[in-house]
Amino acid sequence: MATTNSLQHHHHSSSYQHHRHNLHPQSHVVPSSLSLKHPTSTAPFSSLICSSSSSVVSAALTTNASSVTAETSTEFDVLATHLTNQDFRKADEETRRLLIQIAGEAAVKRGYVFFSEVKSISVEDLQAIDNLWTKHSDGRFGYSVQRKIWLKVKKDFTRFFIKVEWMKLLDTEVVQYNYRAFPDEFQWELNDETPLGHLPLTNALRGTQLLKCVLSHPAFEIDGDDIEEAEEAENRGVGGKAKTKDTTVFKTDYSF
């Protein structure tokens, strides 16, 4: 979703557009990188929470600073409240709204985020959102959780979508997958059956570049995770052909 095609997930403000597609085995081609547009420079959303200078300021400035801080706190509190109440559907919607806001004024006016704007989002802002998701899901939801899965499947988005169950296996003789219909076919409750990394969703209607930029953001990097992946790839090359558990490949159509 909201592949998440990402989830890259490109992106409408309050709701996802989903189109169901049957995927037939054929050569899988990872979308090539697009040239990045120059992102609009914006101040980190979380920087508004910074404490005021110790120097003496006028009463008017103090009042304005307090108002901005209160407003910012309220924005994150909305997400925290939904997650505390285990209302993951509303939390997902609020996460999309926050991403648009922290991406800058242009994204707010447009109503969705361009993948080229992700790099201008501060580490603190994305980590604040991710920390709330992981905290209130016992570590099962969040961008950092999705990144680990993405790296584990060698950054193959089709297999990532299958792993987090943004796609479903069809009951056919030939192995085929379909994108889940939003919102009814996604899982909004946290239980033992809920797949790891299922939420939050990222709309991939315009391709997987948005989701790729989010999952590649420095906010979610862990020392050694990319190095470990590179070493595994090298080891496969040294020992000859690696064992392939699933030779099925899928069509690179990520619109859902």
Evaluate whether residue 153 is within a structural domain: yes
Evaluate whether residue 150 is within a structural domain: yes
- Domain containing 81 — which CATH number? 1.10.10.1770
Question: 68: pLDDT confidence band, cut at 50, 70 and 90?
Answer: very low
Evaluate whether residue 45 is within a structural domain: no
Evaluate whether residue 244 is within a structural domain: no
Instruction: Kindly tell me if the per-residue pLDDT of 18 is higher than 70.
Output: no
Instruction: Kindly tell me if the per-residue pLDDT of 65 is higher than 80.
Output: no
75 or 217, which is more confident: 217
pLDDT for residue 149: 98
Percent pLDDT > 70 in the chain is 58
pLDDT for residue 232: 53
Evaluate whether residue 42 is within a structural domain: no
Instruction: Name the β-bridge partners of 23.
Output: 177
Evaluate whether residue 35 is within a structural domain: no
Percent pLDDT > 90 in the chain is 53
Number of domains observed in the structure of the chain: 1
19 or 223, which is more confident: 223
Evaluate whether residue 39 is within a structural domain: no
Distance from the Cα of residue 177 to its chain's centroid: 21
Evaluate whether residue 175 is within a structural domain: yes
pTM equals 0.64
Domain containing residue 174: 71-220
